[in-house]
Amino acid sequence: MDYRNLPPLSRLRPFEAAARHENFTDAAAELGLTQTAVSKQIAALELDLGVALFVRRNRAVFLTEEGRSFGQVVSGALAEIAAEAMRLRGGRQPGGLVLLCQHCEAFYWLMPRLSRFHEQHPGLELRVVSTIAPLTEAQEPFDVALQTSGRASGSARLAFTASDEVFPVAAPDYIPEGDLPLSADQFSRYTLLIHRVIPQEWMEWRDWFAAIGHHGPTDGRTIRFDSFPLVLQAAVSGQGIALGWARTVEGMLAEGKLVRVCTESVPRPTDISVYRGPRRGAQAETEALISWLRDELDVS
């Protein structure tokens, strides 16, 4: 190996943390450094490599294509070094695969299917970690992750995307049967349940109405929540109409807890993203999990 091609190793850890978080300030907090120190290390690394690893824009940073690719390599290498160092010290990583899954998908979509995974792979241990945070804020290394497309993913490697669709749902007795299916103009008669978060990383009512070519109600009643499971529970208990993602609400529709309230639906061809994580050493098992997720999400 020609070690002269290696960049100064002291710059790789700040870069890996910044790439994983896609944020210099969060990387600095993790490493116990100042944001300026991290920024200088990365600028020096970019100068050494001769490419921009990040785009700086309005106090935010975004990985370039070269930065994302290099981040995946560096993250994987450092993860292997850390795992081997742990082994030499007499410790060991928890066994099995780690699947990091967005909380709603973990609870409503993944859990009812997990028995099928264990039936197909009886000798494979799987640990599911649910989260409401994006991948850039993951608290531990993972093998595979599933989250809504468009959320921050840092240097995680995209395995594939899957489709979904969004349509309004409510409890069966919330809307008089004679009003079903609702027209877009009729929504103003009912309470709309809103999932409002900052940043707004999910489709909300204004986006949905725009997608079906309607301006939406301007004076209807609304109730706001900061948690999508709370939105769904409010819908089930008859408090209003919620936007439902097909894969998330399919079980509640099948059980009769919710019904679709109109014929309109907004397709989302790449709404779900599955990623490979930085953990190493179980590639065959990781590929088995990704293949199973691909089948369950019906991705050809």
Contacts of 128 (CB under 8 A, 6+ apart): 99, 101, 106, 110, 114
Q: Are residue 238 and residue 285 in the same domain, yes or no?
A: no
* Cα–Cα dist 266/212, whole Å: 7
Instruction: For residue 188, name the pLDDT band (cuts at 50, 70, 90).
Output: very high
More confident residue, 103 or 155: 103
DSSP string, 108-173: IIIGGGHHHHHHH-TT--EEEEEESS-GGG-SS--SEEEEETTS--TTPEEEEEEEEEEEEEE-TT
User: Has residue 27 got a pLDDT over 80?
Assistant: yes
Mean pLDDT along residues 249-273: 96
Q: Are residue 204 and residue 282 in the same domain, yes or no?
A: no
- Please tell me the predicted confidence (pLDDT) of residue 93: 55
Q: Are residue 167 and residue 252 in the same domain, yes or no?
A: yes
Provide the number of structural domains found in the chain.
Answer: 3
Instruction: Indicate whether 240 belongs to any domain.
Output: yes
User: Has residue 104 got a pLDDT over 80?
Assistant: yes
Q: Are residue 120 and residue 178 in the same domain, yes or no?
A: no
* Cα–Cα dist 134/114, whole Å: 22
- Please tell me the predicted confidence (pLDDT) of residue 261: 97
Q: Are residue 263 and residue 274 in the same domain, yes or no?
A: no
Q: Are residue 39 and residue 177 in the same domain, yes or no?
A: no
- Please tell me the predicted confidence (pLDDT) of residue 281: 58
Cα 267 to the center of its chain, rounded Å: 18
- Please tell me the predicted confidence (pLDDT) of residue 222: 94
Q: Are residue 218 and residue 289 in the same domain, yes or no?
A: no
Which CATH number is 110's domain given?
Answer: 3.40.190.10
Q: Are residue 285 and residue 257 in the same domain, yes or no?
A: no
Q: Are residue 64 and residue 105 in the same domain, yes or no?
A: no
pLDDT digits (tens, 9 = 90+) for 105-160: 999 999 999 999 999 998 888 989 988 888 888 877 889 999 999 888 888 889 99
Instruction: Indicate whether 157 belongs to any domain.
Output: no
Instruction: Indicate whether 51 belongs to any domain.
Output: yes
Q: Are residue 52 and residue 27 in the same domain, yes or no?
A: yes
- Please tell me the predicted confidence (pLDDT) of residue 91: 54
Instruction: Indicate whether 150 belongs to any domain.
Output: no
Cα separations in angstroms, 221 against 188, 189, 192, 265:
7, 8, 6, 22
Which CATH number is 82's domain given?
Answer: 1.10.10.10
Domain coverage including residue 126: 97-145+270-296
Mean pLDDT along residues 168-184: 94
Instruction: Indicate whether 152 belongs to any domain.
Output: no
More confident residue, 238 or 89: 238
- Please tell me the predicted confidence (pLDDT) of residue 296: 96
More confident residue, 15 or 80: 15
Domain boundary among 88, 123, 155: 88
Instruction: Indicate whether 117 belongs to any domain.
Output: yes
Mean pLDDT along residues 157-184: 95
E strand spans, 186-249: 192-195, 222-225, 242-245
| Closest by Cα among 101, 104, 106, 144 to 124 | 144
Instruction: Indicate whether 158 belongs to any domain.
Output: no
Instruction: Indicate whether 156 belongs to any domain.
Output: no
Q: Are residue 278 and residue 141 in the same domain, yes or no?
A: yes
| DSSP H or E segment with residue 43 | helix 35-49
Q: Are residue 262 and residue 287 in the same domain, yes or no?
A: no
* Cα–Cα dist 117/125, whole Å: 10
Which CATH number is 212's domain given?
Answer: 3.40.190.290
